[in-house]
Amino acid sequence: MTEHLIPISIEPLEEGGYLATSSDLQGLIAQGRTIAETIEIAEDVARKIIESQIEHNDFIPESLIFSPVKVEKFNTKIPVPLEI
């Protein structure tokens, strides 16, 4: 199994929670209560979209086919909910 990094955008919703979309993978829309939950749902949605595209011989973006990722090191921030 190879991993592919799919860029997503996450934005807060006025009513609460977050929305994730991707300009690289059409149809990827995920909503969650927290950023972490939204990312988890987005991963599942992306996997299902790609599996469906493969099953139906639909177009798969070239960036997903030919760019498996070898991640050595990167910096990011993680959400940690705290009630202080």
**pLDDT digit string, tens, across residues 32-56:** 999 999 999 999 999 999 889 889 9
Q: What is the CA radius of gyration of the chain?
A: 15
List the Cα angle 20/3/54 in 5-degree steps: 80
Q: Are 53 and 60 in contact (CB under 8 A)?
A: yes
Mean pLDDT in residue range 54-79: 73
Examine the pLDDT at 70 and tell me if it is beyond 90: no
Comparing C-alpha atoms, which of 78, 69, 65 is closest to residue 39? Answer: 78
